[in-house]
Amino acid sequence: MHRVTGPTHRFVGWPMPVTTMCARHEVGNGSSMSNRLHVGNLAVTTTAATLTEVFQRDGRTVARVSLVMSRDPGVSRGFAFVEMGSEVEASSALAALQGAEVDGKALRVSIAHGPKSRFGGTVGGHGGPVRAPTAASIVPAAGPA
């Protein structure tokens, strides 16, 4: 994993770097494709072996399949992550298998991105960027009448 450090924010008078973890490429880059795919709309009966077989068709190399399971033993949550041997193979699998039927359901295949920040990506976790007050938002204090 790469550690990507973004801009610093002022909090209680000292700078604090904002750091995000990303699996394959820098956050916000958008130009780099990953070799990790998110596969959705899976039947509960679909296994990792089935996905490996489907993604290896046409000579593609599958590095790893992670089928996400629910808390109930042996029951899939309906999605998985498939790591291909290269970005070219991932692109090929994405094009070939989008909408393909496996165990009676049409697959939804997309590029997997790193996990999102649990705290909204800002200091304090309030979900928005830290902004300085504008002149319009400053209300003069009421003085003695």
Q: Which regions of the chain carry the CATH code 3.30.70.330?
A: 33-114
pTM above 0.85, yes or no: no
12 strand-pairing partners: none
113 band by pLDDT with thresholds 50, 70 and 90:
confident
109's tokens? 């295949």
3 state SS of 49: helix
Q: What is the pLDDT of residues 46-72, one digit of tens each?
A: 999 999 999 999 899 999 999 999 888
Q: Report the half-sphere exposure of 115 (CA within 13 A, side-chain side).
A: 9
> What would be the CATH architecture of the domain defined by 33-114?
2-Layer Sandwich (3.30)
